Structure 1
């Protein structure tokens, strides 16, 4: 029996349901994949993806990070992930101040408080890991840092979910996506206006006060649209990553109970477990870049002016980079290859340390809350999202 033709569609139901089967075929059969109908390329092998992430002079971020944005004639919103140097460098150096090791450590008490709060409310007999726990707490952390009042923090999460949702086959934004983006943008823009009148000890107020070099080298302040774009991005990235990673972690550990037992026996393995989860079921599946010139990667040559999917989630399971790459093992040798779970190169995740810390705290407390548990696999619900994978519902029963 011959295999069906290899087709990668970033919003097909088959891809939403199980991206890893698609990746395995692409790495083997078409490591430099070209889609004639949609006119894009995709890289799935680790050496190709890592090389492309590092080559920002050939692979531009300035047109957006998904296929619909890159193909659009309109400029993407003003945001750090849609910038190339030197603009990116100036903005990154400014935003890095919010994510220094000291700043992250200062958030730990808040993270512990929120994790304990949501687990204290959970019903061990009827616990949905995402809806009751990993959905609510990360967005509280990042929106507190930004300066969002408490009554709007969970609303931010719903805007994000609605904005990223894709129907099967849908590449470009639909009316629901657009409305979520508009509602979110209007809210954050209003919040920026408030902070200009009444500064607080929060990220928005610090961005208002900050200065960066302008095109002519003179220092300038950020405008309201730029600050709105950055806070919207931070809210989304800061919430989605941990929400999806923790939900996926519970599913993966249910399938690999011997790995969960390793953590029960030795909590010092938690940081290594977070790294392996980022490799094995990292929430961010890909980023799309745009080639500014003809460029050659190990698997071949890509023409100028093309959208290119950099499939980090595929690269992280590449058996040429990681021994038994399709195997989940928290004790694996992490020096074999670069883990691309939180990006690589100049656009690596700004809040990576925060995401790692939140995920580690969540695992630590889940080990106490449910040392033995069962996942109701029939109740699992995957998300259908642009470039993000994970679950919206992970129902579990805590065993005595």
Structure 2
């Protein structure tokens, strides 16, 4: 019996449901995969993905970060910092690094804790949707509070983001409704920034308004409102989606691995390790897309210049060439074995990683207090269908006595 060739379709229902069997076959059978249907290449082994993340001369971000953008073959004008290569990326990153210092992140711990307490205080332990009622609500509250978004508008940011990231099976381009949401979100932030210029405060938008950036000619100038809007949209999206998806995954993974949950109940010092293992085991961002800037040959396959290349971090983090027993969720694994690519790697590693880690640690601590024993209604669980993002949209749970 002839084995079927592996097919990697990041827009299929099979991929949305669970990509890990596909990843295994990619690593073993097609470590440099070519999709004739979508005309892209994909790297899936840890060594290759990690090296590509650090090689921006070969794998450029300047053409966008998803397939729809990259295959247009045009340098993205309004993609923000995630769609930049050095030296422009270095200048923008250095500006935001001043805002996301470890001290500044730690100063937000009380905000994170009080926001989580408020959201948990509104759920019914006898039955609630862990994602819709909890993990989708507080991260966007935290980020938009930091940005200075009025309370009445904070959850709307999340709804816009969910809408423009959503993809139906087979859908590559953003839908008309998704595009409308993306425009509405950008217009909202642009208008908020214009208003904030007249009434500066201590929020992130005010700090960006007051900042100066080094331009190509070496001159220091303020950011314009469009540049700040791009930052705001990126931070709003990353702040809403990353922690939301990581914690939704946590509720599912720990229900399937109750002995690991018991370890946390017995030793809270393991909570930060749990966050790292969740990032390795089921990262919110499963892949990033780059554009090949030169011809490159790996594993006997030549990637031509000018092609979209998927860097599949979700596969790399389950590569047995890098990790021992990678398909096992194990809090006490040896983290020195390989680089965890859950927050990317190299110059485009997640800018808000420290904040996301802190939020996730606090949330897991609160989960241990609020729901030390819980039950998942598996029939009601639903995965998201999203561009670049993986996780759960619905996880109904009940706290047990």
**TM-score, length-scaled by structure 1:** 0.98
Q: CA deviation at 1:300?
A: 4.6
- Report the CA distance between 1:222 and its aligned residue: 1.2
Counterpart in 2 of 1:251?
252
Instruction: Tell me the alpha carbon deviations over residues 10-57 of structure 1, each in whole angstroms, 9 at most, x when there is no partner.
Output: 111111111112111111110100112321100000000000000011
RMSD of the alignment, in Å?
1.2
Aligned to 1:155: 156
Shift of 1:299: 6.7
Contact 1:48 1:298 in 2 (8 A): no
* Deviation, structure 1 residue 73: 5.4
Counterpart residue number, 2:4:
4
Deviation at 1:72?
2.5
For 2:107, the equivalent position in structure 1 comes to 106
* Aligned 1:183-332 pairs, distance under 5 A: 183-297=184-298, 300-332=301-333
The match for 1:344 is 345
Q: Secondary structure at the match of 1:197?
A: coil
Partner of 2:116: 115
Tell me if structure 2 keeps the 8 A contact 1:78–1:226.
Answer: no
Deviations, residues 286-328 of structure 1 (Å, cap 9, x unaligned): 0000011123456754221111000001100001000001110
Residue by residue over 1:77-96, the C-alpha shift from the partner in whole angstroms, topping out at 9 and shown as x without a partner, is 24000101011000000001
User: Do 2:247 and 2:360's aligned partners in 1 also have CA atoms closer than 8 Å?
Assistant: yes
Distance 2:319 2:9 in 1: 20
Deviations 1:237-288 (A, max 9, x none): 0110000000000100000000000000000000011000000011001000
CA separation in 1, counterparts of 2:50 and 2:328?
A: 21
Deviation (angstroms), 1:128:
1.1
Cα shift readout 1:129-185 (whole Å, capped 9, x = no counterpart): 111110000001111111211111100000000010001100011201101101101
Q: Is contact 2:60-2:85 (8 Å) kept?
A: yes
TM-score normalised by structure 2 residue count: 0.98
Which runs of 5 or more structure 1 residues have no equivalent in the other structure?
none
Deviates further, 84-93 or 122-131: 122-131
Partner SS state of residue 121, structure 1: coil
In structure 2, C-alpha distance between the alignment counterparts of 1:360 and 1:298, rounded to whole Å: 39
Counterpart Cα distance in 2 of 1:299 and 1:185? 44
Contact 1:129 1:393 in 2 (8 A): yes
